[in-house]
Amino acid sequence: MSQVTLPKSTSTVSVKVLNVSTPTSTAPSSFFISPVKPGRERLSVVVHTFLIEHPNGRKMMFDLGGLKDPGQYSPAVKGLLSSQNFDMSVDADVTEQLNAGGIRLDQIDTVIWSHTHPDHVGDMSLFPPTTKLLIGKGTDRKVFPEFPDAQLRESDFAGREVEELSWETAHLTIAGLRAFDFFGDGSFYVLDTPGHCSGHLSALARVKEDSFVLLGGDVCHHPGQLRPNLHIQRNIPYSGDILIDLSQPILTVPGQPSAYGDKPTALATLEKIQLLDAHPDIFVILAHDSTLEGIINLFPETVNNWKEFGWKHKAVWAFMQEGTKGFGYH
């Protein structure tokens, strides 16, 4: 059993995952993982965003993915994508997928950004002014064109309520991470998960009374940065013959220049996420974990029944199975 005590509640939410990417979406491995094995210089990625529905009728989004038209990005983002050779193609953006699934944008009362990188913030201008935006403490709020080097655009904040979480009064922690009870009933916790960038957030959604989904955001970009470790070995041990050292992950977080603004803090956060990942009642969905393709259901289906479907046992070591997009990086 994991060394984590989870808060009790009978209140739950529905979680639906939207993939805002294409089958060819890739990124430079060295920007996200270390070490980089010859022949694995490109990292296949998905872009997971989440629709959260509460029984009281409230709907919210955790992350929005990227833009369908890359020409709409700020000059700073265009320069980054070009210089690092990112492929952030989008077939159908999050708003198109929601509309196709019968969800109107004016039904979304809150959008939470895990952080402000371009593959997560989407296009807030498409949502009505009644949709509130929630961001992490210390989030860089500089916008273009006021700041020429800003990644965000003026339209990302214009005309709507923007709330920046404050952790000074947070009395709840989960696995050592500061937590905010979003609905006030124990169904959805926003987690302070610093390291990747300033203000980075994750979330823990209670989908059954004793079953959770962890929305990881960019705490890491490959499951090999989480696993193996001694915690997961106690509950879902690796049974293959490839790995020799099962005490530490096969990959780590790269130093600068990379996507991680604070490597020591990112590693400290990952150690806490490992505790949650090892818990038998928690299923982790990282924003860019392509090894979950073919395992989890996508919108409009929910992921609430992950435990009944046995997804955790299928997913934990999928990156060590030949044929998955995450294989071969060890």
Could you give all domains of the chain from N- to C-terminal order, each with its CATH number?
14-320 (3.60.15.10)
What is the 8-class DSSP label of residue 259?
A: S
Residues of the chain whose pLDDT is less than 70?
1-2
Selection from 15, 4, 49 nearest residue 207 by Cα:
15
What is the reported pLDDT for 57?
A: 98
pLDDT at 2: 59
pTM for this entry: 0.97
Q: Is the peptide bond before 228 cis (omega within 30 degrees of 0)?
A: yes
Q: How many CA atoms lie within 13 A of 193 on its CB side?
A: 31
Q: Tell me: the pLDDT tens digits for 249-307?
A: 999 999 988 999 999 999 999 999 999 999 999 999 999 999 999 999 999 999 999 99
Query: Exposed (0-12), middle (13-18) or buried (19+): which is 154, by Cβ within 10 Å?
Result: middle
206 - beta bridge partners? 212
For residue 314, what are the CA distances in angstroms to 133, 151, 288? 35, 37, 17
| Cα diameter, the chain | 56
At 205, is the secondary structure helix, strand, or coil?
Answer: strand
